[in-house]
Amino acid sequence: MGLLKKYRSILLSLTDIVMVLVAYFLALWIRLDFSLRNIALFHHLIELIPVIAITYLLALKIARVDKTLWTSPSVDEALRVTLASFAGFIVVYSYCELMTEVHLPKSVHIIALMLVVLILIFVRFTYRIYRLLLSIGQSKSDNLKRTLIVGAGDAGTMLYKEIVQNRKYNNKVIGFLDDDDYKVGKLVMGVPVLGKSTDAKMVAMKENVEVIYIAMPSVSVKKQNQIAQLCHSSKAKVFMITGTQDMISSTGIQRSIREVSIEDLLGRKEIHLKQDDLKQLLVNKSILVTGAGGSIGSELVRQIIQFSPKSIIMLDISENSIYELQSELNIWRKEKRISDDVEYIPIIGSIRDFAALDMIFERGKFDLVFHAAAHKHVPLMEMMPAEAVKNNIFGTQHIIELCKKHKVMKMVHISTDKAVNPTNVMGATKRFVEKMIQAESKDGYTKFAAVRFGNVLGSNGSVIPLFKKQIASGGPVTVTDPEMIRYFMTIPEAVSLVLQAATYGEGGEIFVLDMGEPVKILDLAEKMISLAGFVPYQDIDIIFTGLRPGEKLYEELLMDEEGLKETPNPLIKITQPMTISKEQIIREVEYLRKVVLTDQSRGEIVKALMEAVPTYRQS
């Protein structure tokens, strides 16, 4: 087999030449009314074999016909075969007329040309049909998964061909669905179009479908998510084609297929960013991202670096996460997804170390700072409030002071909906930081802003990774309360809106991101169990553990005294500005520092936080 692959091109060329010669002899035989009465002409044709063979070998070689795959002939290949055959016909005919004494009838050359084209193309397509029938025959005999393809357009038909021809797929396509009325009820690639995408659940259950591929990459994300929800409700395994750009090869098709995720089932809106604003903000800028190893920080780095900043400093206390991010960016650079001019530097350090931060700012000469470093685990911070205050408040104070000292153009702080009427230590520290941002003067050189949003799907410490681990271990899945709801957003969405909000910041704003409709945590757990191929409460149980200290049933995005103003992006709002004096913030910070450094008892720290954040009430 290895030897066959090595000499494949030569073997294909020899096969083509044999077929060309057969075509010429057939042409002469046809011209002589299927008789052999003029043996002299046949002898003359035999003498022309070297000329015909060499001529057509060169013509087919120049047209690169020998490089094509017989398993996937195309219109392009048929065109190249035709052009090469015509070139060969011209040369052979000219040779016969000018260089030989005995001339073949002109009609022989014309018939030969037609036969050469027909035979070369016919053999290739016949071989493909043979392979297709062979694959279909094997699929009928094998125990394959009954499969439905949603979308009978280019992506769907390409996927069907790949499934039939590639044995890596363990599928038997029983039908298509398509929203084109003309296609419904017709056959596509010999397979029936059984209905529209809205019929996905009904068709899947009626036909006992085990796998569904959604092959509609050109429709909107919202539409794809709606189809995903319908398909998912049928209990079949659902996959989605993400795009057609790299579906030219089988490996490309496999790369562009992904399993439908929980994000698809939440039905998020599409987000459209103003690229010109982001370019003006980020291109050729020196940028610092704190907490760069975390879920939000690392995505900030990924998105910022694609706008070709001058440099980006990735600061984090966790060496493992920063190493992984740096390794990912190194791969991007090799793949030419990052300009060679962009400098990205990992730094291991803490925002609590003012002296080290000062040196980083001095060397970095930053234009922008995105501050994502924070302790955010609610239960842990309830147990260790001193650490929450030291890191979230004192650390952020360091960042704010150094931004002013080193003339940073803009600083954006990543906040949370838990800062609204907080019921836990973590939320109270985040709300205090928002106050610090609001207290900064708009007249200063550095413009400060905070961006507030809810839970981020798949982020470190969120319920998604926890549920995945619990499902993988066979359950049970733990939900605190059947009525608990949360706002959710994907990590790329949240970061995209953070960057967009940064373009609007004029100083002291708190931006609030539109989180869509809140989601019941119980519904989330049930969908994740179903996505994993199990039946909730039967295969994997769900148990309720009760609210943990500091938790709420319902998160809020606004305080009572806050209102909202519009921005050019409807998914981003600005809270009404609140008047907070800088002197008050300084006094409260010093009081918190005194309590934390001298007492450190949980009760005293919580009491001090309540004084600094009047809306903080323990749950």
Catalytic center residues:
418
Q: How far apart are CA 347 and CA 359, in angstroms?
A: 12
Mind giving me the DSSP string for 144-182? PEEEEEE--SHHHHHHHHHHHH-TT--EEEEEEE-S-TT
494 with 459: CB under 8 angstroms?
no
Mind giving me the DSSP string for 352-363? T-HHHHHHHHHH
Q: How far apart are CA 75 and CA 395, in angstroms?
A: 65
Q: How many helices (H) and strands (E) does the chain have?
A: 24, 22
Q: How far apart are CA 602 and CA 448, in angstroms?
A: 31
Cα–Cα distances (Å) from 410 to 237, 264, 288, 325, 502, in that order, read: 46, 34, 11, 24, 8
Q: How far apart are CA 365 and CA 345, in angstroms?
A: 14
> Across-strand partners of 344?
312
Match 């989330």 to its residue by tokens: 524
Token duo for residue 208: 């006992």
> Across-strand partners of 566?
573
Strands, E, within 17-159: which ranges? 145-150
Reported as type and span, the H/E element at residue 444 is none
Strands, E, within 439-476: which ranges? 447-452, 455-457
Token duo for residue 337: 């997804």
Token duo for residue 322: 């920063």
Q: How far apart are CA 60 and CA 68, in angstroms?
A: 11
HSE-up (13 A, CA, CB side) for residue 434: 33
